[in-house]
Structure 1
């Protein structure tokens, strides 16, 4: 996740610059909600493009995992979009809690971290180790580590 965030930094930086140029924004808080929606769409395009094209983002290639449909096939565009939207569900309960209770500063951070941990626990308690968004989107992650041949000798 950290590796994916590092890769997304460049995409977010460039797309935010484009947003500022197109809207003639001179302040980071100007058009804040429009900016957030724009970044949600841009990040979504990155994930949806990667998942529907090869099933892997750059970080997923490094970790040798691929997202596939339940039959093991390539994700159709609509399933990739659904998976992206559902993957944000971990954020909603924490956001609602922050809003309802008027949490500020470190309390807000704790609520968001608790939401992330709660979401991760959905994979821990799932019989197949799937996150809730994968189960709902009818997708799954597979290991694409190449099998090693036991008869071959290691390369020097």
Structure 2
């Protein structure tokens, strides 16, 4: 999970740069202008970052924690499989955010719902035969220990 938190910091930077590019290109004058389009653009930018890095075998945090990602057969991921994994990774956040949007929850309530869902989804990995996260099982990927870089 430490790798996951480190990844979140890098994804925040990716989202920040993507939002800057979007706002300059669209000449946004107000924070709520084109809000939905901005969200889609940021999600696509983060998807491009994750897909490219997973296709290469590791993101920077994965390299730091000596974790690699491979397919079921131990081979490097194709771009398509890496993109599929990114889509399945949305299970970590989309269900609670969809619930929060429909229920008109406050920010603190959204935070609690998201934290509860993330904990629940993480605990479900205990029920997988190889103890891997379900998004990896569905995408046909797995995390493995990587040898130290020289």
2:131 corresponds to which residue?
129
Does 1:119 find its partner at 2:102? no
| 2-structure distance, mates of 1:106, 1:8 | 22
Match of 2:27 among 24, 28, 40: 24
Identify unmatched segments of 5+ residues in structure 2.
Answer: none
Pick 1 or 2: higher relative contact order, CA cutoff 8 A, min separation 6. 2
TM-score (norm 1): 0.86
SS of equivalent to 1:75? coil
| 2-structure distance, mates of 1:8, 1:106 | 22
2:69 corresponds to which residue?
67
Measured after TM superposition, the shift of residue 92 of structure 1 is 2.7
1:35 corresponds to which residue?
38
Runs in 1 of length 4+ with deviation above 6 angstroms? none
| 2-structure distance, mates of 1:40, 1:67 | 21
Distance change (3 Å), C-alpha of 1:8 and 1:98: closer
What is the aligned residue count?
A: 145
Asked which structure has the greater CA Rg, the reply is 1
SS of equivalent to 2:24? helix
TM-score (norm 2): 0.90
1:95 corresponds to which residue?
97
SS of equivalent to 1:47? helix
